[in-house]
Amino acid sequence: MCFFFCVKLGDSATITHGKLQQVFEDDAMSRAQAFPWHKMFSEGRNLVEDEQRSGRPSTGRTGYNTARVTELLRPDRRLTVQVIADKLNMNRETARLILTSKLGMRKIYAKMVPRKLTEQKQDARLSTCADLLEEVEAEPELMDRVITGDEGRFFQYDPETKFQSLELRSEG
């Protein structure tokens, strides 16, 4: 609106730029930018909003496509970006941007880390189990109130690889 005011007063582009520098100091618009703006306002422009531009509008990351990606991921979060793009017939980069920017998702890999117990920990577990066994013999209903689990996991199949375990998860 400073340009509009200075043009109405009849100031030249140089004087207008000088006033902008005086008022805004280091935050003032550069001379190269001030002159075209002054010219536009002197030719009758009175709004500072951008005008319509030619070109193709963005159609990839619409709410409709975001909903389609969400519906596709609902039953299976292990789909890759390329598979999502192929199934929905869209650009791979568009699918990736919908997943990361719109849905806030990122890749999560599961990784199994096998661990072996030390002698001290094995002895401590053996002692704890012996104590629990004595308590169960003294009070047989004790096991009805206890939930147990084993930390050691042994598989009779080959666990999946890190890449096979990839899932898309949102931060929430």
Enumerate domains of the chain plus CATH numbers. Answer: 2-42 (no CATH), 63-107 (1.10.10)
Q: What percent of the chain has pLDDT over 70?
A: 82
Task: Note the pLDDT of residue 67.
Answer: 92
Q: Which residues in 92-103 are b (16+ Cβ under 10 Å) and which e?
A: eebbeebbeeeb
The string of pLDDT tens digits covering residues 21-33 is 888 888 888 888 8
Q: Is the pLDDT of residue 86 over 90?
A: yes
Q: How much is the average pLDDT of 82-99?
A: 91
Q: What is the dihedral of CA 151, 155, 160, 166, to 10 degrees?
A: -20
Share of the chain above pLDDT 90, in %: 13
Range of lowest pLDDT (5-9, 16-20, 95-99, 167-171): 167-171
Alpha-carbon 124 to chain mean position: 44
Task: Decide: 18 and 6 in contact? Cβ < 8 Å.
Answer: no
Taking residues 5-11, what's their average pLDDT?
83
**Residue 156's pLDDT is what?**
47
3-state helix vs strand vs coil in the chain, percent to 5? 55, 5, 40
pLDDT at site 130: 92
Residue type, 40: M
Do 169 and 103 contact (CB within 8 A), yes or no? no
CA distance 128 to 134: 10
60-76 confidence digits (pLDDT tens): 778 888 999 999 988 88
Predicted local confidence at residue 3, as pLDDT: 75
Per-residue pLDDT reduced to its tens digit, 126-144: 998 899 889 889 988 877 7
110 pLDDT exceeds 50?
Answer: yes
